Structure 1
């Protein structure tokens, strides 16, 4: 499912226009992004949590040359699925 298909599904499920659904989806994504970038955790009970996670500096290998390279420390976004989301996905696969 891509973004336009998600907007269509939201519009149908909430009985609103596609334009309103698109604006709502964009606002939700922007809000989650801004909060996580600021260092906050966003928790949607039953769905999951979005948070920023620190990744330590480490040494890696260039796959082409085999030479060691230094990979700097960074902060990356992380998503942890909630129990209800995990259960829904597990039931679909069986």
Structure 2
């Protein structure tokens, strides 16, 4: 019977811990969304560091951001060009044999 109580207590503790973590994340997000307005200086600085860490692309030039957004784009373009070359080659061979 005590194992059931232990199990229930463990589940309740995990739930409380998860709720605390969620609450802390919500509070951090609120401070970051407001850019630290109304928060103590130490919290504002920490929130801005955390916000900057969440957005590692801020220091990148615009074209590099586009490259990251479309990371497989060059491969896709190369595949399309290859398919077009194959199609034109096949068409040229058919025309030459006709």
The normalised TM-score by structure 2 is 0.33
Higher share of residues assigned strand: 1
Report 1 or 2 for greater relative contact order, CA contacts < 8 Å, sequence distance ≥ 6. 1
Greater helix share, structure number = 2
